[in-house]
Structure 1
Amino acid sequence: MRRCINGRNARRFLSSSCASARGWWDHVRPVPKDPIVSVNEAFLADPFPHKINLGIGNYRGDDGKPFTPQCVRDAETKIQRCKLEESNSSAVRSKFVQECVRLAYGNDSYVAREGLFAGVPTLSGTGACRLFAEFQRHFYPESQMYLPDPTWSNHHNIWRQAEIPVKTFHYYHPDTRGLDFAALLNDVKNAPDCSFFLLHPCAHNPTGVDPNEEQWREISYQFKVKNHFPFFDMAYQGFSSGDLDKDAIALRIFLEDGHLIGCAQSFAKNMGLSEHKVGCLSVLCQSIKQVAALKSQLQLMSHAMYSSIPFHGISLVTMILSNPDIEALWRKEINVMAKRIQTMRTTLRHSLEKLDSSFNWEHITAQVGMFCFSGLTLDQVKQLEKLFHIYMTPDGRISMAGVTTGNVDYLANAIHQVTRIDEEVLRSCYI
């Protein structure tokens, strides 16, 4: 006859036989740290007083400190006076998406005028990309995403996490340190019809290499021939030329050619709102019926992923974009920020050339936007960190926002020193 175990004894028996719950997470392995995070951690741990952080992705002033544009301060004041409240949330969010579309495609664009877009606020540009990847997986489960080589490293993570296979297309030419346009077009032509492509409309991250207007027109034409879908990740609008409209020329060319377009926008960089995580995803449609369908699907997916994004950041961006005076101020300020970066590019190049380097540094000023793909090797990057306390990502990407009038000569000399070693080796081959 089996002995009966009462509830208390049963719990005691289970507790003693399973001293601890084991096995649930034994198979989970850590992943490598993001290179930018690793660079920042190494920089913060370095006690050297004149260290330089060239891994940062946010704008800095010439004093090297984070910069909050005056337009943001003015919008903050205006919001407090207007007493915007969460009760207005739905109307403000709708207005926010409308203003984002207007900024991307222009004041007079038919998509903005006729409302032929489905859009939702997102957790910055990353959230916009991730939401579109989810949308792509749901409605085109057999599709792939073509990413430029190279691209922002997180793009690969985003589409992989959405279980969308990733392929790459040629973009950067390491020998010229410019655009590999012929190879890019060849990849576009050879991709299966109706493929998804991610494009950087301006200030390409990490290379700083953008197609010119004529090249964008040719790319758009080839997309039309192949019926590819263009998805633009616009994280740095304004930083390429200093003009918000010029930096959106790629989207407007594709719109003019009749493409349906997906667009991720972020205001973390060009408004200095990194901590507010304000972004937008918009997808162009052919009819109001399509708009209703896509918007409902995007809202459903976003609600499952993050519900909604903080109201304050949305209200700031909406105020800036919808108030003519504040928007005009923002346009002036983004031009000043872009000009500072352009000036640092010119100064760095000239400083290197004055040191009689045999290397060609023209690409520093030929590239645009926040980043410079320096062409430095991994070994040279490590030497800069070890010998000169200068930190950048392993691929040699320089965040030009970290270059200032106070450190540019030191940076140029350090780069000259680590590249001169290669010059001497090269000369020895011919002696």
Structure 2
Amino acid sequence: MTILNKMGPVATDEIFDLNREFFNDTYPEKASLGVGVFRTNEGKPWPLPVVREAEQRLFDEQSLSRHEYTAIEGDMAFVRLARDVLFNFHGKEDSDAQKAEKERIASVQTVAGTGANHLGAIFLAHNMKPSKVWLSDPSWANHDTIWDQAGVPRAKYPYYNPATRLFDFEGMMAVLENEGQEGDVILLHASAHNPTGLDPTKEQWKVIADLCERKRIFPFFDSAYQGFASGSLEEDSWAVRYFFNEKPHLEMCVAQSFSKNFGLYGQRVGAFHYVLSNSEKQLNRTVVDNLCHLIRGEFSMGPSGGCSIVKKVLTDENLTAQWHENMREMASRIQSMRRALYDELVRLGTPGTWEHIVQQNGMFSYTGLTSEQVQALKEKYHVYLLKSGRASISGLSTNNVAYVAKAFDDVVRNVN
């Protein structure tokens, strides 16, 4: 008899399970549309050229302090740069008004976007004690896990309309109007919604912001794809900046990741930002101190390797320009693969409508395939995607897109 006898089984992570199956599959034409990582047209990882340049410079410098502790709140030069990228302060002269705006933001380094989401959830659970958090239906599966571990009840707002395969803005607004309560938290994807690839328009974002302000619902942004979705940092952070600039009395927070836009998946580089309704320095410091209290008890401080790369790039104009070009290249390849898949399905006359594939953006597409069709894709064609029908577009290439489209066509025609 041990205390572990009371421990029940938990579901394993579908994405990592699927990735393991793919790697163990020896079929020569297999295709991985599961894991959310950028791949070249040859299906290979792509360390960004600007990252390789920054790594070489850091290696050549051989800084004696490169393995030292930083601070509990992280490498503060990195943290300030991360904030400036997200809120579009980067490269601007600090006027008094700009300094006041920056003082509204309390920021710390985290263990990538997952760590930022987790830290934010725990921070709000301890200090705000929300009655519930609203997650989109569907959302990134890890959002459920994170908020469950924080002990905050979860509710779902409509997001994806399976009949139209489009964003269900009306359904979302209706549920939040009728059921949203003061003090609730709402999780919002800043851009390239995971898993659907569907984002609100700018006009719809304005309505969402108005609702949050009027009903006093606390916005929590997850910004995992800034610059990666459209190739533009400014475009992909528009919603965050609109809330910040146009709703200054509405507090909110943002989980920021550099995994996708720098290709630093394994380096775990991220930041968490809490936006205050005023620029009082002491309140900013109190928020940071409370975040540091949580960080100290969990991981002490963020890792320095990946953030040093980001810092090196963002403090050199030529490297920054190269980074922007690298992001545009990644975004362009994914957009071209969306179009190629759509064109192939149209050429084959695949039953149904497939415009949603090119209407969506970012790494993922909610294809509309059923779980039975997804299973048939894996068993018959060795094409791997999630049971929900979510496909990672970065797994497509000019070499396999015709094969994948043919597989889609077959299961749509023959598997109910």
Alignment-derived partner of residue 110 in structure 1 = 98
Out of 174, 181, 204, the residue aligned to residue 169 of structure 2 is 181
CA deviation vs aligned residue, 1:77-97 (integer Å, no higher than 9, x gap): 232344442458349711111
User: 1:98 maps to what in 2?
Assistant: 80
Instruction: Give the aligned partner of residue 204 of structure 1.
Output: 193
Does 1:321 find its partner at 2:314? yes
| Whole-angstrom CA distance in 2 between matches of 1:289 and 1:275 | 35
Give distance in 2, aligned partners of 1:203 and 1:33: 25
Partner of 2:230: 241
CA-atom RMSD in angstroms: 1.7
Query: What does 1:15-414 correspond to in 2, within 5 Å?
Result: 22-84=1-63, 85-86=65-66, 89-90=70-71, 93-107=75-89, 110=98, 114-190=102-178, 191-257=180-246, 258=248, 259-285=250-276, 286=278, 287-414=280-407
Rounded to whole Å, the distance in 1 between the matches of 2:74 and 2:212 is 35
Do 2:188 and 2:221's aligned partners in 1 also have CA atoms closer than 8 Å?
A: yes
Give the number of equivalent residue pairs.
402
Any gaps of 5 or more consecutive residues in structure 1? 1-21, 426-431
Give 1:372 shift.
Answer: 0.4
2:8 aligned partner, one-letter code: R
Contact persistence 1:125–1:265 (CA under 8 A): yes
Instruction: Please tell me the residue identity of whatever aligns with 1:44.
Output: F
SS at match of 2:365: strand
Measured after TM superposition, the shift of residue 308 of structure 1 is: 1.5
Tell me the CA shift for residue 405 of structure 1. Answer: 0.6
* 1:330-350 Cα deviation digits (max 9, x unpaired): 111111100100000000000
- Structure 2: how far apart are the matches of 1:350 and 1:305? 49
Structure 2 unaligned runs (5+)?
none
Per-residue CA deviations over 1:237-256 (Å, capped at 9, x if unaligned) read 12321111100000011112
Query: Per the alignment, do residues 408 and 256 of structure 1 end up closer, same or farther by CA in structure 2, a change over 3 Å counting?
Result: same
Partner of residue 415, structure 1: 408
- For normalisation by structure 2, the TM-score amounts to 0.93
1:148-196, Cα deviation, whole Å (9 max, x unpaired): 1100001000011011111111111111111101111122323012321
Spell out, residue by residue over 1:274-320, the C-alpha distance to the aligned partner (whole angstroms, 9 max, x if none). 11111111111222121100000001101111111221111111122
More moved, 206-215 vs 26-35: 26-35
Task: Find the residue that maps to 1:305 and give its secondary structure.
Answer: coil
Paired residue secondary structure (2:191): coil
Judging changes above 3 Å, is the alpha-carbon distance between structure 1 residues 263 and 216 closer, same or farther for their aligned structure 2 residues? Answer: same
1-structure distance, mates of 2:100, 2:298: 27
1:7-34: CA deviation from partner (whole Å, max 9, x where unpaired): xxxxxxxxxxxxxxx3231222221211
Contact 1:111 1:117 in 2 (8 A): no
Tell me how far apart the structure 1 counterparts of residues 364 and 226 of structure 2 sit (CA, whole Å).
13
Structure 1-normalised TM-score?
Answer: 0.90
Q: Is the CA contact 2:113–2:271 (under 8 Å) kept in the aligned structure 1?
A: yes
User: Is 2:133–2:186's contact at 8 Å kept on the other side of the alignment?
Assistant: yes
Distance 1:222 1:284, change over 3 A: same
Identity of aligned residues (%): 36
